[in-house]
Amino acid sequence: MAATRTKLLVLNAGSSSLKFKVYRWLGASTDTAAAAARGSAAAGSTAELQPLAAGLCERIGDPAGGALMRASAGATSWREGERIEEPMPDHGAALRLVASFLSRSLATGAEHAFDQDVLAVGHRVVHGGSIAQSVLIDDAARGSLQDVCHLAPLHNPPSLHCIDAARSLFPGAPHVACFDTTFHKSLPPEAYMYALPADLCRKHRIRKYGFHGISYTYLTREAARMLGKPLEETNLIICHLGAGSSMCAVQGGRSVDTTMGFTPLEGLVMGSRCGDIDPAIVPFLMREQGLGPDELDALMNRKSGFLGMAGSIDARSVEECALAGDEACQLALAVFVRRVRKYLGAFLVHLGGRLDALVFSAGIGENGSMLRDMICADLAWAGIAGLDRTANEATVRGKAGEVQAAGSRAKVLVIPTDEQLEIALETLAVVQAAVD
């Protein structure tokens, strides 16, 4: 009989970073197949997953060096955990360092290495292209992901590098790709179609895909729980605001519109991405500046947003400089807030004005109390009578709660997102389905 496999490894690869988290599945049985087969109940239960270890590798592939892994096992936050400074020229090297740390920290015995205890590995992949659901990663699935790398050039390539390394390091475990695009499969045609020639759209699969779906899945379920409403009766506008920012209109627990589109470039102002612009600016810059497609792609994805307008990719720095009187930073924040409020109004129309809660999450959404206050100003007509100052300022750094002012018809919720947990749950569900 095979040894019990109880651990789920979740990997989230960024362009120069790698987040990881390990859970023990408390529903595991006496062997891998039996554990997976009993996953139908556990796959939907957060109580069945016990966090064991987590960490972050930073500055992967940076030619200037300085690569760092911060990690911890147990209750200690990885931010206060072990610090390992070691060269990480690529995501494969970073993952090997992660595997070494986990083997030292979590192996259950000299003859039972960590890799033999891994039930499954879940991977966050930003763009799934035509793949609509989370899938087991085989060579065909990997090839499909390779085909859409050009649609998410900052995100999909490092995810593939991480997948390749993980399949090599953990060959005995199934690997599952969980997509940020899946949550938006419910978008109606009038929401995802672009007004371009239909034959071109069909040929090149041009449509609004939407992103941050793993986060939105978690936040929708958590908001419904906090509101005490069935998921299918819950109407939300969710603001996932961070270095990459987007919004989503949720009607009856399903995505009906979102700000990101064919790629994660469309929509809100972001750390280094421009969001919505007049498309005619692209050929204009090609003519006037002599820029090619790759240079324009880099300009819009890596040199714009807060970085282009205010000189910093970090919204906290922009906010601090704005408060100190820097006019460029003040304007950058005003542009950011105006764009959010523009979509807030549009999404309220999509929901017919029936809003249960406005939800803030991710780095800016969870910690930017000043920006939350600016976004929610003068919204009494929408059922939000501003924010409670004390509650708003206190609900930061991982805290969840209601922050709306008294007299509001709709709630304003701050909910820290947990993409790693959502990936773990989805991974269990896919593995279970594969052995049923």
Catalytic residues: 180
Residue with tokens 């792609």: 297
Q: Collapsing DSSP states into helix, strand and coil, what is residue 78?
A: helix
Cβ(244)–Cβ(265) below 8 Å: no
How long, in residues, is the chain? 436
For 247, how many CA atoms within 13 A lie in the half-sphere containing its CB?
A: 25
Phi and psi, residue 291, nearest 5°: -85, 140
For 179, how many CA atoms within 13 A lie in the half-sphere containing its CB?
A: 24
Angle between helix 91-106 and 156-169 (nearest 10): 50
What gap in Å lies between CA 232 and CA 252, rounded to an integer? 4
Beta bridge partners of 120: 8
Number of neighbours of residue 173 by Cβ within 10 angstroms: 22
Q: Collapsing DSSP states into helix, strand and coil, what is residue 251?
A: strand
